[in-house]
A and B are shown apart, each in its own frame.
Chain A
């Protein structure tokens, strides 16, 4: 059973960066393909990027290219998502999510981290 526990809510000013963490338990991070999905208030789900096991690389949604970085610390089984040059439209709940077997989906999700961007 995979458990994903995310870091707490953040409030940031426009132009700043935010780094959200996702601690894995039940599996090791190397056994999983971590992805990040966000949801703006009252809006739908939006995929930001994640690890593609087919080519062994992290891929990012075109919308976030150059502004998002996803990293992993395998020594602590923690995944990170850093988003820079924040603007008000980045206010959202950010989720880490992963499939428990190879595939382009997620059956395990973190609890979500609310990031508020406000001056």
Chain B
């Protein structure tokens, strides 16, 4: 069965500092990997996704993520965070070409210090 682990429940970063959110997955097939962001009381917004090809993917709002197959990881990074980045971040995995829903990690709550 597939699973996604986000080991950090909360992360606090100073505004302007760099950010890395960790994500590890377990999946029996070739995975699709996603990062979503959720503001309080809102739905989810896609930040970026990896299907194939270049393992470093660029997303919206200055985020990027790197797929490392050997480590089963898909960590999210941003070189300089803004106060508006404070939110809940979810890593998710799905099947390539599949018709199933995604499996989500438990999320990482990002707090931005002034």
Please indicate whether A and B come from the same complex rather than being unrelated chains: no
Residues of chain A at the chain B interface (Cβ within 8 Å): none
